[in-house]
Every structure is written in C-alpha cells, then in structure tokens.
C-alpha cells in the first residue's frame, strides 16, 4: 500500500513539473502578444495571467523590437506567410529562451492564461473569450496560430475587418465564432478544409460573399444580421453544408437550385430574394426547415409540396404570395406553415370572405379553399329562399361567383355536395357613404341635403345628428340623397360633426362637418408669402381669433394652425393646390358663422431661363424660374409674338413646359432671312391674373451641323455644333474623350497645357489667350499683346486672372484712370461632363475640357458704331525635345464656312475646339464671327473672335478638349523623338500579304502556260490521227438503207461534217497523206 502511494506521488510531481514546460513556438508568442495589444487586453473583463505573460515577453529585447515592427504594419500582406515561416525556422533559439523565462516565472500558458486551451502535446488549440470586453481590431497575425482549432470571440466589441488570411491559413481551424461584434468590410477568400462551424452573425459585414468558397467540411454557417448584398454563391451548396442562416441582409436575385444540395435548414428571411414558390426547387430538396419571411416570393403553395421533402417548418410571411394553403399541406400534423392572410381550415371546404352586397342586386364573390373544380357539386341559397344563379368557379378550388336578386338577405348557405357538408355565412351589405352636406344661414331653420352613395334602409330607421342637435324628419330620396330639417340651435358649434345611423349602422366615409354659410368680412388681413412653401399670417382687428378653429384657403384646409396668445393673429400653411392671387380665405369661428375675404396673393411668377426648340420651327419649351405654379386653365404663356400652350396641370413651383407652334413654311423663310431678329425674344407669363415679362431671354435658333448630327452619340445640333452625350466629343461626336491633364502656366498668364499620361502620348497642346485687337471699319488696327496679368484666385482646377488696359487713343488723357478697361479671364477644368447655361442656351462642356470665360468691362471705343474688338488665342503643338528632327507636323482641320469647329492632330492625339457662335453683349445674346490664321509649319494656329461694340461689358465663353482615335503606346527615344511601339517594320502582316499575292500570280501564270501547251499537243494529235478503211466500209455498206432508218440519217449527217473537217485538216498534210485522203473521199462518195 505504501509503495502504491509513493508511486502516485512521484507521478503527480512529474506531471506538475512537466506542466511547467512551455513548448509553444516563437510565432505563437508573437501572435498572442499582438492579439493582446490589438484587442486592448488591459481592459478585458478577465485577463488573468495575461499581464504577467505580456510583461515577460516585452522584457525580451528581440521580442520588443519585433513587436514594434509588427505594430507599425511594416510587413506587406503578401509577405506575411514567408515572414512567419522565417520566424519559425530561424528563431528557434529565441523561442526556447522565451519558454525558459516563462518556466522560470512559473507561467504555464495553457493553464495560466484565461481563455487559452492546449492539446495534450501543449499545442495552442483554442482561444475562447466570450463576453470579455475585447475591443480594437483583430490582429492580422492571428491566422498564424497554425494549431488553432477553435476561435470563439463572440459578444465583444471588436471592430475593423476580418484578417485577410484568417479563413485560408489556419488549416486546422474547425470552429470560428465572431458573432455579436462590430466587424465590418468584406469576408476574405475562404480556403479552410477543416472548418465545420462559421458564425459571423450580428456584425457589420458588407460587400459580397466570395465566389471561391473552399470549405468542404463546413456544416453550419450563420451570417445573419449583417449588411451583405449581391447573390448567394452556388458554391456554398456543393459540399456538406447542413444549416445556413443569411437572414437580415440585402441579398438579391433568385434562390439557388437546391435539388442536389445536402442543406437541411435554410433561413434567408428579411432579404430581397425572389422566386415563384409554385415551381420552386425548395420543395424538391432535402430541406427540413425554411424561413423565407419578408422577401419577394410570389405564387401560391403547391399541392405537391410534401412529395419530395421532409418539411417540419415553413415561414412565408410578409411575402406577396397567395395565402391559399392546400388542405393536403395544412392538415399534415408534422408541418407548421406560416402564410399571411391565411385562414386555417379543419381539412374541409371553408369560406373565409364574401363580397359586400348591394340591395339592388348584383354579383356575389366568395373566397375560400377546397371548393373543388365542379360547380354542379355546389349550391348557394339565401335566407329568403332564392338561389344564387349562374354559379361559376373563378379560380380552381378557391373563388366562387354567382348572381343574386334585389332585396334584403340576412345570410346565405353554401352546400358542399361532394363532402355532404354545408356552411352558413351572414351577409354584409355595402355600407352607405356620405360625402357632402348643404349649408344654412346662422339663426335660420331649413332643409338640409346630404349626398353620397349606397344610401338605403331596410327598416326605415334613420338618425342624423349635427353637432349636438338632431336633424328631424330624415328621408331617403334615392340611393344617393337624404333630406332632413334643421332648427336653429345654440348647440351647433362650428365645425359640427355629422353622424348618421341607418338601420342602427353607422354610415361610413370621411368625417363630414356642417358649416353655416359664410359672410364676407373686409377687415381680414392676409400676409403675402415669399414663396409657395411659406406659412401665411391672418389678422382681424375686430374679431378675437382665439375662437378660430379652422382656416380654409380656396376650399382647402390650411394645415399647422398656430394662434397667438392674445388672439391677434393666426398662422397656417396653405394646401399645395393653392396658387395665384386674390385667393379666398375663410375663417371658421366656433361660436359664430364663418367669415371670408379674397385677400391671399402669392408673389408674381419669375422667369430665369427659357429653353427648348428653334423659335421658327416650334416644339416643347421648358421655362424655369420661381412661383410658376397654377392650374393649367389659368396659365397663359407668350414667346415673342406667339402663344405657347401649357402641357401639364398642377405645374411645379420652379419649372413647367409648353408647346410652341411652328411658323408656316413661308414665314420660316422670312424669319431665317432676319436671323438676328429672332434672338433675344421676350417671354410673358400670366398665372391666375399675375403677369410677368422677361425681355431678351429666348434665343433658341435653328442651325445646320456636320452630317446633321446623325450619329448615336449626339443629342442634336446647337448653334451649328453637334451637342454630344457625356464621354464623347469631336465634330460629329464620334470620338472618345481621352485621359488628359491640365497644367497651368507657371507665370501669371492665362495659358494652359493639355498633357497626356505616358502610356498614351508625350505630345502636348498649348492654349493661350494671346492678345486683344481693336480695329474699325476703316481698317485702323491696334494690337494689345503686352498685357500685365494678375492672378486673383487659384485652386487645383481653377485660375482667375485680371488686368487693367488703357486704350491707346485715351493714353494722352489727363484722367487716364477714367478710361481704363477691366479684363477678367477664368480658366476652369473639371473631370466630369457639365451643362452650363450661357447666352440663352445650355452648352455642353466635355469632361476633362479647359473652359475659358472672358469678361471685358467698360471698354471706351473711339467710335461705338464702327469700332470692334478681337480676342486672340494661340493653339500650338510643340515638340519640346527636338522639333526639327522627329516631331510630326500637326494636321489642322476645320469646318466649312462659317467656322464652327477646329481640330489639331499629332499622330492619333487631337485637340478639339468648338468655335463659339454666341457672346453676351450688354446682357443680350449676339452672334460672333471668327477667323483662323496658321503658321507655315502648322505648329500653331491663331484664332481671332470679333466682338460687336458694347457699352457695359462683353462676356465670351469657349472650351478646348482632347480626343483620340486609337490608343497607341508611344515611348520617348534618347534623341528626343517619339515613336509608336505598335507600328513595327517590317510589318509581318504586309509581308505575308505580298508573299501570298506573288504566289497567286505565279499560279495563274502556270495555269495559263499549261493550257497553251495542252492546246498545241491536242492539235498535233488531231493532225496525225489515221482513219481506218474498214470503218469507212462499214459506214458505206449497201445493206443499210438511210431512208428506212432515220437514225442513220443523223449518223450520215455527222459523218459528212466529220469529212468536211477532215478535208480541212488534210489539205495541210504532205503528199502521201493527200493521196490517202483522196482514196478515202472516193470510197465515202
């Protein structure tokens, strides 16, 4: 006995000693250290053993330095694997040292650290810290716990994203539970061959599930209550997955086909998934439970639902499915099925709804279940003994309809002959509805008329209460009218609620109120609202407004009633349907009759722009502004000398459309001859008696464009230039807009350079505002090129320059500052397409285009009639390395007269400039002319825009964009030249083409030569061909009578022809052949 005890004691001591052994790898210590720090381990609810363990790790100099590097995220993601492998192989001695330090301090990681569990071999296999106040983020190095089997961090507040390698590096990981945290971003690539349970529910995961899903052992997955979207990958169902919960996400699309899946429990409730449950593959799968609540499922539950599946629970609530459940499904004792609007049966025909009946007769519709498909096995009988005629089954097994006669029927009875059962249902008649009541003057008795629909009484029992007073002698005149007499009474307080009972049933409809007839009161004051969204203020000095209970404006209830404490004023918000001026405002006072006055007027309409169609051709015009609200019958629009017809009722506050009729063909010709006269047309609008007029606002005109803008990238023609859709540009919008960068000039001058990324081109286009030229009709010209610009504003996309300029003819003036003109140039650059309203039309500015906006103010012309100004631009395409040796000369193209567009191309890079056709002169739209001058080497072009004379200011807009035909890759050679890498010499394709062409020509020549040789040989053969005498004798035998055998006449005829041919050939032979020919001819004759 003593030896046994001693043996047990020795074993116990040995186990305790060995338990202090720490055999964790150096990488495990590194990961645990980062895990503790990244999740704020010092604030854990339970961090038993961790603080001492971490302190020991950080005392190690190598560990401290390595941890600092890892904390700085200095290792790229793609090097993490290699980095940790090097730790494991190259730092084994360091790991042993750390394990010795832990042993020296009596720290056993597997037993001392909270939440850590190890295998019998002292391998770290589990981290479980449920509800332990973990914060921060999960360490990116956590996946390198290679022996980890279980990771359970549920119910904490961990944020950030999942480590990229968490679901791919740990090959032994079987259980991962990170539910109920705040993890966001997407789910990384999944390659976990041992993973069985994955729970990421109640987080903030978004994006899509990865399509590459390699988890062959996965059985349970819960991703519910996240923000995942997209479609459910089919790869999820290829392996052993038994339970899947993706509820409360944003999944779309159809339910995957599950006929071959092993899935048994599927919860996709509260998503946006679609399917027709009548034909769904759900019913042909291995599913046991399905929760599809709140999706977009349609159809109805099929009768064969249980033919292939073993369902015990189905939830189809909150789906637009038909609530019908076949009895074969509902009466199954082991199945619970939930569907909205479904009345459960006792497994027999049942009616759960019948339409309301009309006393005048009509059709009765009955909804239920299990009615069968044969109407002759059903009968419907009413309480008065009549039968419902013409019975039909509208929908198999579910909806019946029949025709009934007039009169009161308290119930009807359905007899199900095929079940030997019946059902009695009480009838429900359509409840009377009232919608209008007449008025009486206060202190006056009289008859009240009430109108509505379905007004009837089977018992002649009618009660009408108006406020606290009864209306006596009520009578039903017809199905829509009731009359009664009302006496004067102080019990009627405005507004008086009207309550009507017919046959002790309350009449339905909107609440109806009785009002006394209103009288006009001229001391009611109305405020003038600034817009249609403002509240109005009402005052009445002789009336205490504390008793006001309602305000009506144009018959509409004024909402949000606010009364002042002293009763001097009242505020409310009119209905959106109210507009115009002199609107009727009615005050309803509780103890008095209503008072009204036509005092409310909204501000007159304002017009800011009018766009649409050429003025001479007509079409739909869009007018934009403020206070443009009113009924279509009260709106009048005139553009120039023509009326524009409003198109829609209840116009919006800020815009509406109207139709402008076209001129006749003859008038159009006259209008076009007077081109300028149709610019700056006035627009006049009258809305509810309020008139506004905007002069010089409508300037849409007809124009001609290249090819009439027929390509599919155009929106039509504007001012002679094709209006392109976004991302397209060029004269006919046939070109894509290429990637360009805008560089401003380093000095303060309005100049830009359009450059391209290196993979497109090294060429550059420069655009600069060069000079201003003043000239008169007498050709007196003065050029201002030395302009002293100042930079007033700048950011990444915009520069604003300005300068002061004194005309030469005023430089001798004693007061030169009085004659100075101001010039402002704004250059902006935007990466997106823009539509800018300028000069009476919407102008399209392509994306990545440079836009110049020039404004010249207070120019003092010598002669305001004959003098003009020109704006000079220079467009150049310099090769900044070596212009003479290798730069290709630009190709310049322009439109036919008048000048509408200009392109400058180098190789496949093109600068496109839409020549502006309009300018704003003193607030009016005017046409502008332009001329072009190019240098001999075509490296630059000068454009001059001629502005009409002005007194106040001139505003001019233009834009420059870059387009390209083919994206050639170019590189810069050492000598500064540019060469296209895609163009190689010799060209293999061209060589093959020429080789093939030469081969074909040789073959043709050989064929011709062979034909000639063959022809010569044939002639020689015919000349030497011998004719045998026996054949001639046979043909000339006297036994053959030609006359009796017509077929031989043909032979003889052919032989004669042959002889003639032979004679022709024999003439050319020698003498011996000639003698033979003569003998043969004699024998034939």
Work out the end-to-end distance of the chain between its first and last CA atoms, rounded to an integer number of angstroms.
Answer: 153
Lowest mean pLDDT: which of 513-527, 553-567, 713-727, 813-827?
A: 713-727
Contact indicator for 975, 931 with CB cutoff of 8 Å: no
Please tell me the distance from the alpha carbon of residue 158 to that of residue 169, in angstroms, as a whole number: 21
d(CA 683, CA 623): 9
Give the dihedral of Cα atoms 518, 520, 526, 530; nearest 10 deg.
80
pLDDT for residue 388: 92
- Tell me which fold the domain 350-426 belongs to: Immunoglobulin-like (2.60.40)
What is the average per-residue pLDDT within 310-318? 88
Q: Does pLDDT of 1026 surpass 60?
A: no
Domain boundaries, the chain: 19-139, 350-426, 433-514, 519-600, 606-698, 741-979, 984-1025, 1030-1084
Whether 1034 has a pLDDT exceeding 70, the answer reads no
Q: Are the beta carbons of 148 and 127 closer than 8 angstroms?
A: yes
Q: Are 308 and 332 a contacting pair, CB within 8 Å?
A: no
- pLDDT at position 903: 85
- Residue 1036 has what pLDDT? 37
CB 935 within 8 A of CB 821: no
CB atoms inside a 10 Å sphere around CB 172:
16
Q: Which fold has domain 519-600?
A: Immunoglobulin-like (2.60.40)
pTM of the model: 0.47
Residues 6 or more apart whose Cβ sits within 8 Å of residue 980: 907, 968, 969, 970
The better pLDDT of the pair 546, 247 is held by: 247
Q: Give the pLDDT band of residue 86 (cuts 50, 70, 90).
A: low
The mean pLDDT of 137-146, rounded to a whole number, is: 85
pLDDT tens digits, 399-420:
889 999 888 888 899 888 767 7
Q: Please, how many CA atoms are within 13 Å of residue 742, restricted to the half-sphere of its CB?
A: 27
- Domain 606-698 is in which class? mainly beta
Of the two residues 331 and 939, the one the predictor is more confident about is 939
Is 869 within 8 Å of 845 (Cβ atoms)?
Answer: no
* Angle CA 340–344–347, to nearest 5: 145
* Tokens found for residue 539: 């005052």
Tell me the average pLDDT across 713-719.
72
Give the distance, in angstroms, between the CA of residue 925 and the centroid of all CA atoms in the same chain.
37
- Residue 792 host element (H or E): strand 790-794
Say if 433-514 and 741-979 have the same CATH topology: no
CATH classification code of 741-979 = 2.70.98
Per-residue pLDDT reduced to its tens digit, 243-254 = 999 999 999 888
Instruction: Check residue 952 and report its DSSP letter.
Output: S
pLDDT of residue 649: 65
Q: Does 974 or 500 have the greater pLDDT score?
A: 500
- Band of residue 1057 on the pLDDT scale cut at 50, 70, 90: very low
The span from the CA of 749 to the CA of 770, in Å, is: 9
pLDDT at 986: 52
pLDDT tens for residues 348-361?
677 888 888 888 78
Question: For residue 336, what pLDDT is reported?
Answer: 84
Residue 431 or 315, more confident: 315
Query: Is the separation of the CB atoms in 1042 and 1052 below 8 Å?
Result: yes
Residue 1084 has φ and ψ, to the nearest 5°, of -65, -40
Q: For the domain covering 433-514, report its CATH number.
A: 2.60.40.10
* Residue 73 burial by Cβ neighbours in a 10 Å radius (0-12, 13-18, 19+): exposed
Which pLDDT tens digit goes with each residue over 1000-1016?
Answer: 999 999 888 888 888 87
Do β-strands 595-600 and 519-520 pair in parallel, antiparallel, or remain unpaired? parallel
Cβ–Cβ < 8 Å for 631, 650: yes
Confidence bin at 909 (pLDDT 50/70/90): confident
Distance of alpha carbon 49 from alpha carbon 305, whole angstroms: 58
């Amino acid at each position: 006995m003593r030896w046994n005890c001693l043996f047990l004691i020795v074993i116990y001591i040995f186990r305790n000693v060995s338990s202090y052994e720490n055999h964790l790898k150096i990488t495990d210590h590194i990961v645990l250290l980062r895990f503790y720090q990244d999740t704020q381990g010092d604030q854990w609810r339970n961090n038993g053993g961790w603080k001492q363990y971490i302190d020991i790790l950080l005392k190690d100099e190598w560990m401290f330095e390595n941890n600092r590097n890892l904390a700085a995220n200095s290792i790229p993601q793609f090097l993490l694997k290699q980095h940790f492998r090097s730790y494991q192989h190259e730092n084994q001695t360091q790991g042993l040292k750390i394990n010795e330090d832990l042993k020296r301090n009596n720290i056993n990681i597997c037993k001392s650290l909270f939440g850590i569990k190890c295998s019998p071999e002292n391998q770290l296999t589990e981290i479980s810290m449920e509800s332990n106040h973990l914060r921060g983020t999960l360490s990116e190095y956590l996946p390198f716990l290679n022996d980890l089997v279980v990771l359970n961090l549920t119910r904490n507040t961990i944020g950030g994203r999942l480590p990229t390698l968490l679901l791919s590096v740990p090959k032994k990981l079987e259980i991962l539970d990170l539910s109920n945290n705040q993890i966001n971003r997407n789910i990384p690539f999944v390659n976990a061959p041992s993973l069985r349970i994955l729970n990421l529910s109640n987080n903030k995961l978004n994006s899509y599930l990865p399509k590459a899903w390699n988890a062959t052992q996965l059985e349970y997955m819960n991703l519910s209550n996240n923000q995942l979207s997209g479609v459910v990958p089919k790869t999820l169902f290829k392996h052993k997955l038994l339970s899947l919960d993706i509820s409360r996400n944003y999944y779309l699309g159809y339910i995957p086909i599950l006929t071959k899946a092993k899935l048994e429990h599927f919860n996709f409730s509260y998503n946006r998934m679609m399917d027709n449950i009548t034909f769904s593959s759900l019913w042909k799968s291995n599913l046991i439970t399905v929760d599809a609540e709140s999706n977009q499922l349609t159809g109805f539950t099929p009768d064969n639902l249980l033919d292939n599946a073993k369902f015990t629970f189905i939830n189809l609530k909150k789906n637009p499915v038909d609530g019908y459940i076949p009895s074969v499904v509902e009466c199954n004792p082991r199945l619970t099925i939930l569907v909205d609007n479904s009345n459960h049966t006792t497994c027999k025909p049942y009616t759960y709804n019948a339409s309301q009946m009309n006393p005048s007769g009509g059709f009765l519709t009955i909804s239920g279940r299990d009615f069968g498909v044969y109407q002759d096995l059903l009968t419907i009988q009413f309480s008065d003994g009549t039968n419902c005629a013409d019975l039909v089954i509208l929908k198999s097994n579910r909806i019946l309809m029949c025709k009934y006669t007039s009169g009161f029927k308290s119930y009807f009875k359905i007899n199900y002959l095929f079940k030997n059962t019946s059902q009695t249902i009480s009838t429900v008649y359509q409840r009377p509805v009232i919608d209008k009541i007449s008025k009486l003057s206060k202190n006056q008795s009289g008859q009240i008329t009430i109108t509505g629909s379905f007004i009837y009484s089977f018992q002649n029992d009618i009660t009408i209460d108006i406020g606290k007073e009864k209306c006596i002698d009520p009578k039903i005149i017809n199905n829509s009218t009731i009359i009664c007499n009302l006496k004067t009474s102080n019990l009627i307080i405005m507004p008086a609620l009207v309550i009507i009972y017919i046959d002790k049933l309350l009449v339905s409809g909107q609440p109806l109120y009785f009002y006394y007839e209103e009288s006009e009161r001229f001391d009611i004051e109305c405020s003038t609202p600034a817009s249609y969204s403002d509240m109005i203020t009402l005052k009445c000095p002789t009336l205490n407004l504390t008793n006001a209970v309602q305000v009506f404006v144009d018959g509409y209830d004024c909402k949000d009633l606010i009364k002042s404490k002293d009763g001097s004023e009242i505020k409310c918000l009119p209905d959106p349907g109210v507009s115009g001026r002199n609107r009727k405002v009615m005050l309803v006072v509780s103890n008095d009759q209503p008072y009204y006055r036509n005092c409310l007027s909204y501000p007159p309409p304002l017009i800011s722009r009018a766009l649409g169609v050429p003025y001479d051709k007509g079409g739909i015009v869009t007018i934009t502004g403020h206070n443009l609200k009113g009924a279509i019958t009260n709106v009048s629009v005139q553009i120039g000398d023509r009326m524009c017809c409003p198109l829609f009722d209840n116009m919006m506050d800020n815009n509406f459309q109207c139709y402008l009729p076209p001129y006749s063909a003859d008038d159009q010709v006259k209008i076009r001859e007077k081109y300028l006269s149709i610019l700056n047309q006035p627009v006049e609008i009258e809305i509810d008696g309020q008139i506004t007029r905007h002069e010089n606002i409508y300037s849409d005109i007809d124009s001609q464009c290249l090819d009439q803008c027929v390509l599919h990238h155009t929106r039509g023609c504007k001012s002679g230039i094709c209006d392109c859709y976004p991302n397209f540009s060029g004269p006919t919008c046939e070109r894509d807009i290429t990637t360009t960068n805008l560089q401003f000039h380093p000095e303060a001058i309005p100049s830009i350079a359009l450059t391209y990324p290196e993979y497109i081109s090294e060429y550059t286009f420069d655009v600069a505002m060069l000079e201003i030229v003043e000239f008169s009709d007498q050709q007196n010209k003065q050029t201002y090129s030395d302009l002293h610009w100042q930079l007033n504003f700048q950011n990444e996309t915009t520069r604003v320059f300005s300068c002061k300029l004194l005309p030469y003819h005023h430089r001798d003036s004693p007061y030169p500052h009085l004659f100075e003109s101001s010039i402002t140039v704004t250059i902006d650059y935007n990466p997106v397409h823009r539509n800018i309203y300028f000069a009476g039309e919407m102008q399209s500015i392509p994306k990545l285009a440079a836009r110049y906006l020039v404004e010249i103010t207070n120019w003092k012309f010598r002669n305001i009639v004959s003098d003009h100004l020109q704006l000079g631009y220079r467009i150049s395409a310099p090769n900044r390395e070596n212009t003479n040796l290798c730069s290709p000369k630009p190709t310049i193209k322009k439109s036919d007269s008048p000048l509408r567009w200009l392109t400058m191309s180098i190789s496949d890079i093109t600068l496109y400039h839409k020549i502006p056709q309009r300018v704003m002169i003193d607030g009016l739209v005017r046409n502008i002319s332009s001329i072009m001058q190019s240098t001999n080497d075509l490296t630059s072009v000068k454009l001059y825009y001629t502005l009409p004379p002005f007194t106040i200011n001139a505003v001019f807009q233009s834009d420059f964009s870059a387009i390209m035909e083919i994206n050639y890759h170019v590189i810069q050679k050492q000598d500064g030249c540019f060469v296209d890498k895609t163009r190689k010499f010799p060209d293999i394709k061209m060589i093959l083409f020429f080789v093939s062409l030469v081969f074909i020509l040789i073959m043709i020549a050989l064929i011709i030569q062979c034909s000639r040789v063959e022809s010569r040989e044939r002639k020689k053969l015919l000349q030497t061909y011998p004719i045998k005498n026996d054949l001639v004798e046979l043909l000339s035998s006297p036994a053959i009578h030609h006359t009796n055998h017509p077929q031989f006449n043909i032979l003889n005829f052919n032989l004669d022809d042959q002889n003639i041919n032979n004679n022709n050939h024999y003439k050319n032979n020698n003498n011996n052949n000639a003698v033979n020919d003569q003998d043969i001819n004699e024998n034939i004759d």
